[in-house]
Each structure stands twice: as structure tokens, then as C-alpha cells.
Amino acid sequence: MPSMGNALTRAIGRAILWVTGWRVKGRPPNEKKLIAIIGPHTSNRDFIYVLGAMLSLGVRISVMIKREAFFFPMSLLYNAIGAIPVDRSSPNDVTAQMAAEFHANDKLWLGIAPEGTRSKVGRFKKGYLRIARSAGVPIFITALNAPAREVVLDKLWPVSDGIDEDNKAIEDYIFTNFTGVRPENQ
């Protein structure tokens, strides 16, 4: 798996989890490339818990950030955390850009919130599945379970040819088994 940090950053991650009362449940898979979907995404605080888990485990999970945000000095921070600049002018181009990133890297975990927002949406967007199919990588379900205060490293989900069916099955699985920080936004 892609790694980052050192003993200090792992201690910072453990401190974030300890201060917030959250913990990591499960283990990361031994995969070089995957898409880690993180849900239910219902609050800005989700980032803090996932960051604590990521740092404590020493795992690098890259995220997509619009290309326009990569200006000095922010570009230094984004590059340090492994953010990937994307041109959002066409949704199909984002899929091709991310597939190219997967093919260009020996190790890459891409983190995506399939809801695309913290607000109630009713359905997951399907871009994460299009990217996974195009890049030939599995989906790793990472969930927030707020009642238990856990970041759950759950399971690998192989991608089939049926994007609509996969999306519905993953969405049902997450919403049935996990509760976000703000359940009213699920």
C-alpha cells in the first residue's frame, strides 16, 4: 500500500483519534492500487476522523482537487499530501485523467466520497465506479460509523460490468451498516 509519514505523523494521527474519541476498526488491505470510498459523508468533521486514521496508519490516500486550486503556496501543501490536480471541464475527462494516474503510478490509493457532498443527496454518484473500471482497480469500502465513533476499514468490493447495480449495492451496504456523523444528511 502507498505509505507516508513517520513515527511523529503516526503519533499525531493517534492523538487526533484520541482527542476526538474515535478509533480505527479493521486493517487496510495489502493492495498497491485501489479506490477507497469513504461514506457516509455527512459532515465537515468526517475529514478530521479520516485524517487521524490515515496518519495513524501511515497510509497515503490521494484525493482529487481542482487544478485551479494548485497555486503557490497551496500547491506545496497539496503536493505534500499527494493531491491530484484535475481538470473538471468534462466529467469523462476526469475518468480518463484518473485512469492515467493509476497507470502512471506503482502505488495509488484514491479517496472519494461517493455522495460528492455532505448534504443529503439520496444516491451515490457513479464516477468512482467509472474510474475503478477504467483503471482496473477494486473499491475499498471505508466507512464512518458515528454511533461507535469508528473509522471502519471494511472490505474490498470487486467492480463488475454493471455500474448501476454495483452503485446500488454499495450504497445499500453502506447506508444499511453505517451511520454518519449527521444521520439526517444520509
Give per-residue pLDDT as tens, 43-61: 888 888 988 999 999 998 9
CA-wise closest residue to 142 among 21, 27, 14, 15? 27
pTM, rounded to two decimals = 0.85
For residues 176 and 186, is the Cβ–Cβ distance under 8 A?
A: no
Q: How many CB atoms lie within 10 A of CB 172?
A: 11
**pLDDT tens track for 65-77:** 888 888 888 888 8
Residue 65 CA to its chain's centroid (Å): 13
**pLDDT tens track for 69-125:** 888 888 888 887 788 888 877 666 888 899 999 999 999 999 988 876 555 667 788
For residues 158 and 94, is the Cβ–Cβ distance under 8 A?
A: no
Q: How far apart are CA 85 and CA 142, in angstroms?
A: 23
